[in-house]
Amino acid sequence: MRLLLRTFERMTAPSPKSSSAATPARRRVLSGLGGGAASAVATVSGASRASARIAVAPGGFPNITVPATTTDPVLHLLRRATFGPSPALVSEVRAQGATAWLDAQLAPATVADTTMDAVLTRWPRLGWKTWEVRERLEGGDTWTVMNDLLESHLARALFSRRQLLETVVDFWTNHLVVPVPSSEVWDSAHLFQRDVIRKYALGKYSDMLNAAARHPSMLKVLDNADSTKKAPNENYGRELLELHTVGVGNFTEADVKMSALALTGLSVDSESGLYSYKPQRRYVGTVKVLGWSDPNTVPENGSAVATLYLNYLAAHPATATRIATKLATRYVSDTPPASLVTQLAQVYLANGTAIAPVLRALFLSPEFAASAGQKVRTPYEDAIASCRILGLTPEPVPASGVTSDLRSLSWLTGTFGQAPMGWPAPNGYPDVAAAWNGASSTLNRWNFHLSLAGNWTLKAMTRPDVATLVPAPLPSTYAVLVDALATKLLISLTTAQRDAICRFVDHAPGDALTAGAAAVTWRLPSIVALLLNSPNFLTR
C-alpha cells in the first residue's frame, strides 16, 4: 500500500500553478470510498491509481453498494437489456414506454436499423458458403473470415438499435460455444453465428439445438464429426447433456454413452465442409437416455431419431430450469430467486421452448424490478458500454478495407480477459461478478477508460470531445462540475464519491471553478475515466 501511495503521489503531483497545500488530498482520494486497493500498479495511469480505492468495494466487486441511479426503472432495464444506455436511448424509451420498447426489441425485425445495415456491408465475406471460404482462402489467410465475424460481432454490440437481440446473441454464443478464432472452424464459424445463433436467438431453443447439432462448427469442435458406431466419441454426447440441456446431476455415465450413440452419423463432408448425415457410421439398436428411448433400427433414419432425441432434451424440465437459471443469471442476479427461475421454466415449457416469451416474463417480473444493482458488467460489456456512453461512431472504411479499430477493440478485450467468442472451453465465460475482480483485468480496463476518454485509442471511431460533457455556462464549483459530468454519463454519485474526485484534481468540492482550469482542460479525461472506473458505472 505504501508503494501505491508513493506512486500515486508522483503520478498526480500538482502542476506549477497548483497549491502545494492540496497534496494531502491526493492521499484522501484513496480512502474516499473505502475498499481494498489492487496490488499490481506498475503500468497504471494516475487516474487508474486513484480508482484503486474509488472503484473496488471491500471484498471485490460483488459487494458494490447499489448506486441510486439504478433504481430508475428505465435505466435499470437499459443497463440489462442493452450493452449500455445512452442519454438519447433513455429519452427514446421514456417517450415510447418501457414495455412498448421491450416488445419491439423482442420482435427485432420491426426495429429499423439502417446504420447497422450499412455498416454490415463492409464484410461481404460473411455471406460466403463454407466451400467458398475454402476455395478462396485455403493456402492463404485462413483467419480472414473469422476476423470479419469478430469485427461485425463487436460492431453490432456497439451500434445496433436491436440491442436486446445483441445481448441475447451474446448469451447464446456463450452457451453453445464455438471458439473463434480456431483452426477447426475457420471456414464455418460465421455461418454458425448466422444460421444457428442469430436465426434462433429469440425463437425456439429446440430449433437452435437441432441446428447446432447439424452444423459443421459444433460437430468439429465437439468431435462428433469423427464419431462412428465402432468408435463413438462421447464428447458431444456429454456436453449436450451437461452444458446444452439438462445439466450436471441429471444424467449418468450410461446416459452419456447412449447420447453419443444417438448422435452417430451426424457428420461433416470432408470435401465441401458442409454437414453430412452418414448412415454407414450410424449405430443401430435401441438408444435410451433419461426417460427417452427409440428402437433406432434403420441407419437411414438416424437423423430423424436424433431430432426426436434433441427435441426431447430441449423440452425436458431440467433443461427448462437450466435455461431459465442461466437467463436469470444473465439478466437479473448472480443468484437469481428460485421463484423467478420456476416461473421462467414454466413459461419456457408452456411456449414450446420459445425464448422471447421467457424474456418478456423475466423483464416484466417483480424480481427483475427488485434486482437493481445486483449485476456487474463483465469486462467485455464494460468496454462496449464505455464506447457507447462516450458516443463512438462507426469508423470510415479505410482504403485497405480493414476496420482497424474494431480489430483493436477485439484485441483489447482480450487483455481484459474476455475477447469476443474467445473462451476456449465449452462451458462459456462466467457471468458472475466474482469471476472478474482480478487486478490485471481491472487495471487494464481502467487504463482503457482513460485512453478512450482522452481519444488516445480507437481514434478512427470518432466521438464527441469530452469537453462537450461540460455544461454551459460553466458550473460554479468543482462539486457541481463532477455531478454534471456524472449525470451526462448516467451515473449517480454519493457525496463521498463526488468529493473524492474533487480532491483528485486538488480542490475542495466547494472551490470556485474557473474557465481554463485543469479540471475542464487537460485533466478532464482523467475525471471522466474515474467516473467510468466507478462501481456505479460498472453496475449492469
What domain range includes position 460?
1-97+379-417+437-540
Same structural domain for residues 260 and 303?
Answer: yes
Q: Is residue 426 part of a domain?
A: no
Same structural domain for residues 403 and 462?
Answer: yes
Which among 424, 401, 378 has a CA at the least distance from the CA of 125? 401
Same structural domain for residues 501 and 400?
Answer: yes
Last residue of a domain, one of 148, 176, 203: 203
Give 256-270 pLDDT, tens digit per residue: 999 999 999 999 999
Asked if the bond preceding 396 is cis, omega within 30° of 0, the reply is no
Give 81-119 pLDDT, tens digit per residue: 999 999 999 999 999 999 999 999 999 999 999 999 999
pLDDT score recorded for residue 403: 62
pLDDT score recorded for residue 24: 31
Same structural domain for residues 508 and 474?
Answer: yes
- Torsion angle, alpha carbons of 383, 388, 392, 394, to 10: 90
Same structural domain for residues 303 and 321?
Answer: no
Give 180-216 pLDDT, tens digit per residue: 999 999 999 999 999 999 999 999 999 999 999 999 9
Query: What are the beta bridge partners of residue 287?
Result: 294
The Cα 153–Cα 158 span in angstroms is 9
Asked if the bond preceding 379 is cis, omega within 30° of 0, the reply is no
Same structural domain for residues 406 and 518?
Answer: yes
Q: Is residue 61 part of a domain?
A: yes
Same structural domain for residues 89 and 28?
Answer: yes
Q: Which three cell numbers stand for residue 378?
A: 463483465
pLDDT band at 69 (very low <50, low <70, confident <90, very high): very low
pLDDT score recorded for residue 429: 97
Q: Is residue 79 part of a domain?
A: yes
Give 269-278 pLDDT, tens digit per residue: 999 999 999 9
Q: Is residue 217 part of a domain?
A: yes
pLDDT at 494 over 70: yes
Q: Is residue 479 part of a domain?
A: yes
pLDDT score recorded for residue 34: 29
Q: Percent of the chain, pLDDT > 90?
A: 84
Same structural domain for residues 403 and 482?
Answer: yes
Domain count, the chain: 4
